[in-house]
Structure 1
Amino acid sequence: VEQLCGEKVSKSMVSELTKKLDPVVKEWANRPLDRQYYNYIYVDAMYIKVREYHRVVSKAVYIALGVNSQDRREILGFRVANRESKETWIEFFESLKSRGLQPPKLVISDAHEGLKAAITKSFLN
């Protein structure tokens, strides 16, 4: 922040901002997805380093981006998991469906075997 904005930020300031932002992020992350239809959904996972129990570990971040009938893109959801697997992809898709997501016309993804299997199970069966 200091490099970007020229201001120092204390740990307590970050903590206070996080407390204020948590409810906003939680509301966004749990919003209903049944208000419009998403023709296409792009899904992928990326790995980030996070501090967990006083160690730095690698975590998978699942993300789904929907394209609606007005061709507008929208992040539908994300989830952090220990690794990328069929089971965690299915859990992620089920969480989106529980918020009202309907099966799209097309799901765009890479060729990760677990992801392909989860797409089939979650949207084609």
Structure 2
Amino acid sequence: MAILTKEQIRELIKERNMKTTEDVSSMLRDLFGEAIQEIMEAELDTPLGYTKNENSAKTGANRRNGHSKKTVISEYGDTEIQVPRDRDGEHEPIIIKKHQKNLTGIEEQVIALYRKGMTVRDIQDHLNRLYGVEISPTLISNVTNKLMPLIKEWQNRPLEKTYAVVFLDAIYYKVRQEGAIVNKASYMVIGIDLDGRKDVLGMWIGEHETAKFWLVVLNELRNRGVQDILVCCVDNLRGFTEAIAACFPVKSSLS
């Protein structure tokens, strides 16, 4: 594995013609669409009192009545979703209201649900902020129950054995925590496999960007199947090089 300087990173991007992040955006769009779909299903579960796979739990007269296609607009591009319907037509969706097409502004909050370090309580609080209105604990619980398996599956999915290039970086953003505004570090790992396909390997939340936390991230990548990284692109954070070498021993280096 080689560790590149910023100049070498820029040259690599130029050589590989990586002018856009469409591949990464596509992955994020898929995650966004899946999460929105499950949230909408949970919204209908709440008034009906049963999920679409629990026919024996039906108690009221109203029933599910299939789905209707709808294309919504987000920062990741157009996303097609299946809007669940009820027989009586009484259900009023909350996350995507009837006739609403533009979802710009909620993408980051939905994708944030996939980040590491969020407890069930964190997700419940995040959903409250996402909706922006006071909603029932039952709805929050239903949405959380639907999203948790989806999130866990994505977070723990097996990875490729070898990646040609892996970009590791963190960005800071401000969040409200216990009544105060604090900074959080969002760790992002993007990999390019040997076929040139880009993928977001994971997202994590930390208090500050540290080499110690990156060591935890790198060990997780290894535990999920990564055996070798040919080129690792990072900033010059103190201790970062040593953390990488501890998980993926350097076989060669570039000056």
Shorter-normalised TM range:
0.7 to 0.9
Aligned to 2:146: 20
Residue 196 of structure 2 is matched in structure 1 by 71
Offset of 1:41 from its aligned partner?
0.6
Aligned counterpart for 1:121 among listed residues 241, 246, 251: 246
Alignment-derived partner of residue 50 in structure 1: 175
The alpha carbon displacement at 1:121 in A equals 2.1
Question: C-alpha distance in 2, partners of 1:100/1:18?
Answer: 28
- Structure 1 stretch 64-73 or stretch 20-29: which is displaced more? 20-29
**Residues 17-47 of structure 1 deviation map (CA, whole Å, 9 limit, x = unaligned):** 454323212210111114x531111100111
Whichever structure has more strand as a proportion of its residues is: 1
Moved more, 11-20 or 69-78: 11-20
Whether 2:184 is the aligned partner of 1:59: answer: yes
| Residue 209 (structure 2) pairs with residue 84 (structure 1) | yes
Once the 2 structures are TM-superposed, how far is the Cα of residue 58 of structure 1 from its aligned partner?
0.5
Amino acid at match of 2:157: R
1:89, CA displacement in angstroms? Answer: 0.8
CA distance in 1, matches of 2:198, 2:222: 18
How far 1:100 sits from its partner (Å)? 1.0
1:51 is paired with a residue whose SS is: strand
Separation in 1, partners of 2:202, 2:215:
14
Larger Rg: 2
Q: Provide the secondary structure at the position in 2 that maps to 1:92.
A: helix
C-alpha separation in 2, matches of 1:44 and 1:5: 27
TM-score (norm 1): 0.81
Residues of 2 paired with 1:5 and 1:119: CA distance?
Answer: 38
One-letter amino acid of the counterpart of residue 30, structure 1 = N
> How many residues align structurally?
122
Report the aligned-residue RMSD.
Answer: 2.6
Percent sequence identity over matched residues? 31
CA displacement at 1:77 relative to structure 2? 1.0
1:31-89 deviations in Å (ceiling 9; x for gaps): 1114x531111100111222222222111111111101110000111211111111111
Q: Is the 8 A contact 1:89 1:114 kept in 2?
A: no
Paired amino acid for 2:187: Y
List runs of 5+ in structure 2 lacking aligned partners. 1-94, 97-101, 105-130, 251-255
Gaps of at least 5 residues in structure 1 are: none
Instruction: Describe the SS at the equivalent of 1:20.
Output: helix
